[in-house]
């Protein structure tokens, strides 16, 4: 079947359904603005979340509203696009319909799957039950509230300090783990003023990673800089050892060491969103959906997968990293092929996706970040940190969010203060792994 | 017993425990800054809520963080003050201890009770189960999410419009009811752009009040202005009739009329916080605690009650209105008498509380508010609205909140937009009446 043949009567606009309003899904929708198609964007939430800054919500630097944007607001001026809040739980590729958790169905002519990722626990005992994930605004507020509750508890009963009430173990030395560790140490500085009666110098952050250095994928000199910076901020960095088990009182490492800690941040890894398991499609490492070089699952000409759930590989056969830039570029690529399909541009409908690596950056905290370009150029320190700030400000969707985040960062930087350190919601153990049926915020 | 005799050894500083960090409790604590006492402020939340602006959180004009402030931050520079997060469930006035929900106790030499108010349902069938109260940030976010969910539901299934999915009944024509009604109408204007496929002109707000006009306590001309302004904004105002029952599908009025409505905002009244019921003290109308003219419960020389839970009366024997200004002035008055008790200033320890009425104001929406001074001076329209904005901006605790609220109001005014229209949390029926044991946010 020529892919351009969408079986549509002349003049009928194909219905493109995009599942997920993360970076990949949203970019795809926006790139279809002037295409002769009708777009429906489906998401379980009514807002887009700027995930790279979730750790700042968890550490009271920003609030939920700063890093989220109502989807309907984003696509408000896009005449060919509608939005539906709903939880997709399956698909019938023969009938070309999606199944929703509420029993409804959504027909499509072309489907773009961008469900994103969920936290991966790798079968580590107790990790899911006792670890705090950081994949949604709900996760971030729960973690922030939990950490602040520990300080309140110690203020009432200082003996709790001996049980690790103020110790946080961060599992996983990727960008999230490093950023959380640095930001927690800076938050403790603020809390030392809030809690004069608490020995905040006994509040610990222990970053645990199985590798020899944090931030795998970066140049060794940058990884060493990150380690040194974290240590300089007062974090403990335990490398070359994995976490064996997690329980309510702390973690046990693979070498038998025990760390008493009432807070365990689980930043050890992600897997494709559980929707990927429910489609009957082939999966690869991390439960990602196997796709060809055009981002289509083999045998499914009208389906694209983009972002963290896509198992696309580069020319060497390596899976692309699960980062925002890949999702964004894949979303745009799917939109381009959809336009080609619709217009019958046979030369373009099978154009392979090629990732344009713009480099990567991570921040460790105030005045400290790392930046690495594909050319091999690297940068650390204040300039890299300013670069990180600018890139993230510009990437935020919406003027209001940019203004709010800029204002908060400026205030935090000048005052060494943190704003939204509110304890919200009932005390709770962390949520189960996100399931397609459960709203996650 | 001379009240100045606090039974303390020379040089021992009396321990003043203040329960509640609302306007009354907080002002009392701040007024004790330079007193020779040790202050402990106890609250079930770790933040102060600026309740007069809760309705703007419920209607997506402001976010939670804009109208709250961590208590520890507020009293950070006050050397004689400590904070404890805990839920007070009772008191032993003989032993001079407070009982906490977690089983702990707190001793006091002088006690200031400022627990505030809870929603009163007056035994109206279904009101507590199906009505949304508006007394906490948790209430406000739940109400906002519920209203937005109704719009999402109608976007998926327009037939729901016929069942009142987009109709909100606001029960009670006091300031909260009037402000909610006006703000909801303005929110609908924003949502009509978010939901182009929804017939938003069929979204209704019906304000119901048993009186002949809304805003009892104001000059009749202002009340008529409020009614006309609400009608001009597209709200329906049903006066002279009470709500008989509330159910999942709407309300039935006392005259038998039926209003189909999937959202019922219960702004019909408040009563003293349930802690007032648990103290074994005499109560008066609205469950408020009976106090003498010095704000002490009869026979309890070391106890003060301030704010919405206090049953203080004016020279004519009328209970003071349950508004922020009364609470603020009562909190300051209690602090003054406590200083007198501590210093042995016998002339001052029984000074009666006299309310200095600064006037009252309420807003109906954009460019529309009413203002009434004790002199009889009244003002409506744009100037009253600007006055309302300024008074509320200045009353907010903390530079950061003032900047955020000012920025948001400025943005909303210029753009006719609303920011934080996020649906958070699982769909839920409204919470039960706040109990002392349940955190309310």
- Rounded CA-CA distance A201/A397 in Å is 38
**Partner A contacted by B160 (CB < 8 A):** no
Residue B403 to residue A403, Cβ atoms within 8 A? no
Query: In this structure, what token pair is assigned to residue A39?
Result: 């777009």
Q: Which of residues 100-119 of B touch A (CB under 8 A)?
A: 104
Helix (H, G, I), strand (E, B) or coil at B68: strand
Query: What's the gap in Å between the CA of B329 and the closest CA on chain A?
Result: 27
Among A17, A21, A39, A46, the strongest candidate for a mutation testing the B interface, having the largest count of B CBs within 10 A, is: A46
Query: What confidence tier does B429 reach under pLDDT thresholds 50, 70, 90?
Result: low
Tell me which residue of A412, A67, A64 sits closest to B64, measured CA to CA: A64
The top-scoring range by mean pLDDT among A50-59, A71-80, B256-265 is B256-265
Write out pLDDT tens, residues B125-143.
999 999 999 999 999 999 9
User: What pLDDT was estimated at residue B439?
Assistant: 34
Mutation site for B-interface testing, chosen from A422, A426, A438, A440 by largest number of B Cβ within 10 Å: A422
**Is the pLDDT at B433 greater than 50, yes or no?**
no
**Residue among B27, B179, B186, B339 flagged as catalytic:** B179
Average pLDDT, integer, range A66-73: 91
Could B194 and A76 be called an inter-chain contact, meaning their C-beta atoms sit closer than 8 Å? yes
Nearest one of A189, A215, A179 to A55, comparing CA atoms: A179
User: What are the distances in angstroms from CA B435 to CA A250, A428, B88, B300?
Assistant: 33, 19, 11, 25
Band (B435; pLDDT cuts 50, 70, 90): very low
Q: How confident is the model at residue A1 (pLDDT cuts 50, 70, 90)?
A: very low
CB A237 within 8 A of CB A214: yes
Within chain B, what is the greatest distance between any pair of CA atoms? 76
Choose among B86, B420, B439: nearest Cβ to A426. B439
Residue A428, pLDDT score: 60
Min Cα–Cα distance to chain A from B231, Å: 28
pLDDT > 90: percent of chain B: 77
State the pLDDT at residue B336: 97
Torsions phi, psi of A412, nearest 5? -60, -40
| pLDDT of res. B436 | 35
The distance of A203 to chain B (nearest Cα, Å) reads 18
Compute the nearest-CA separation of A316 from chain B (Å): 42
Nearest-angstrom CA–CA distance, A402 and B147? 27
Q: In what helix (H) or strand (E) does residue B264 lie, and over which residues does it extend?
A: strand B263-266
Shortest distance, CA A22 to any CA of chain B (angstroms): 15
Q: Is the pLDDT of residue A436 over 90?
A: no
Token pair, residue B12, equals 């021992």
The closest CB to that of B63, out of A63, A138, A195, belongs to: A63
CB nearest B152 (choices: A46, A63, A422)? A46
- Token pair recorded at residue A373: 């370009």
Averaged pLDDT, B113-120: 97
- Of A27, A128, A179, A186, the catalytic one is A179
Region of A209 (left: φ > 0; alpha: ψ -120 to 50; beta: rest) is beta
Lowest mean pLDDT among A5-14, A117-126, A233-242: A5-14
Output the average pLDDT for chain A: 91
Residues of B within 8 A of A413 (CB-CB) are none
Give the mean model confidence (pLDDT) for residues A18-28: 96
pLDDT at A423 over 90: no
What sign does the CA torsion over A330, A335, A340, A341 have? Answer: positive
Q: What is the pLDDT of residues A323-352, one digit of tens each?
A: 999 999 999 999 999 999 988 888 889 999
Assess whether A179 carries a catalytic annotation: yes
| Angstrom distances, CA of residue A186 to CA of A192, A230, A413, A416, B46 | 10, 11, 11, 9, 20
How confident is the model over A264-291, as a mean pLDDT? 97
Q: Which residue of A has its CA nearest to B145?
A: A46
Q: Which residues of A touch B17 (CB under 8 A)?
A: none
B63 and A68 within 8 Å at the Cβ level: the answer is no
- Is pLDDT of A2 > 50? no
The mean pLDDT value for B341-370 works out to 91
pLDDT digits (tens, 9 = 90+) for B222-234: 999 999 999 999 9
| pLDDT tens sequence across B279-323 | 999 999 999 999 999 999 999 999 999 999 999 999 999 999 999
The pLDDT value recorded for residue A4 is 53
Which of the two residues, A367 and A284, has the higher pLDDT score?
A: A284
Taking an 8 Å cut-off on Cβ atoms, the answer to whether B152 and A45 are in contact is no
Residues in B closer than 8 angstroms to A432, CB to CB, are none
The mean pLDDT of A268-289, rounded to a whole number, is 97
Q: What is the pLDDT of residue A406?
A: 76
Which of A156, A423, A441 is closest, CB to CB, to B104? A156
| Residue carrying structure tokens 């994930």 | A133
Between the alpha carbon of residue B377 and those of residues A345, B175, B218, B351, the distances in Å are: 74, 19, 11, 30
Question: What does pLDDT average to over chain B?
Answer: 91
pLDDT at residue A439, as a whole number: 34
CA A63 – CA A66 distance, rounded (Å): 5
Q: State pTM to two decimals.
A: 0.91
Q: Tell me the pLDDT tens digit for each residue of B72-108.
A: 999 999 999 999 999 999 999 999 999 999 999 999 9
């Amino acid at each position: 079947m020529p892919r351009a043949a969408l079986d549509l009567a002349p003049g009928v606009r194909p219905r493109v359904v995009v599942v997920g309003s993360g970076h990949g899904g949203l970019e795809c929708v926006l790139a279809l603005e002037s295409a002769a198609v009708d777009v429906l964007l489906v998401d379980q939430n009514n807002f887009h979340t700027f995930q790279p800054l979730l750790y700042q919500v968890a550490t009271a630097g920003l609030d939920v509203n700063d890093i989220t944007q109502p989807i309907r607001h984003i696509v408000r001026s896009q005449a060919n696009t509608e939005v539906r809040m709903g939880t997709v739980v399956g698909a019938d590729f023969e009938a070309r319909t999606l199944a929703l958790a509420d029993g409804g169905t959504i027909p499509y002519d072309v489907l773009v799957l961008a469900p994103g990722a969920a936290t991966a626990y790798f079968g580590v005992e107790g990790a899911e039950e006792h670890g705090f994930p950081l994949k949604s605004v709900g996760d971030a507020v729960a973690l922030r509230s939990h950490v602040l509750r520990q300080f309140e508890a110690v203020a009432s009963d200082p003996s709790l300090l001996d049980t690790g009430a103020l110790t946080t173990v961060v599992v996983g030395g990727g960008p999230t783990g490093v950023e959380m560790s640095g930001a927690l140490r800076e938050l403790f500085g603020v809390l030392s003023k809030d809690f004069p009666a608490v020995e905040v110098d006994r509040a610990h952050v222990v970053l645990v990673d199985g590798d020899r250095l944090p931030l795998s994928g970066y140049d060794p000199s940058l990884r060493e800089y990150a380690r040194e910076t974290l240590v300089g901020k007062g974090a403990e960095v335990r490398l070359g050892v994995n976490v064996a088990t997690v329980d309510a009182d702390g973690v046990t490492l693979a070498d038998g060491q025990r760390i008493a800690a009432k807070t365990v941040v689980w930043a050890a890894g992600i897997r494709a969103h559980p929707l990927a398991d429910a489609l009957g499609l082939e999966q690869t490492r991390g439960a990602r959906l196997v796709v060809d070089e055009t981002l289509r699952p083999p045998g499914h000409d009208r389906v694209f997968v983009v972002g963290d759930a896509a198992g696309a590989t580069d020319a060497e056969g390596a899976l692309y990293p699960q980062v925002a830039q890949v999702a964004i570029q894949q979303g745009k690529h799917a939109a381009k092929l959809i336009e080609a399909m619709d217009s019958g541009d046979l030369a373009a409908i099978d154009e392979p996706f090629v990732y344009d690596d713009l480099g990567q950056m991570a921040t460790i905290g105030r005045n400290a970040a790392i930046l690495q370009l594909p050319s091999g150029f690297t940068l650390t320190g204040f300039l890299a940190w300013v670069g990180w700030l600018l890139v993230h400000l510009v990437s935020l969707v919406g003027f209001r969010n940019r203004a709010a985040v800029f204002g908060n960062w400026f205030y935090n930087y000048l005052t060494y203060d943190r704003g939204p350190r509110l304890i919200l919601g009932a005390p709770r153990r962390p949520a189960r792994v996100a399931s397609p049926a459960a709203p996650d915020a």
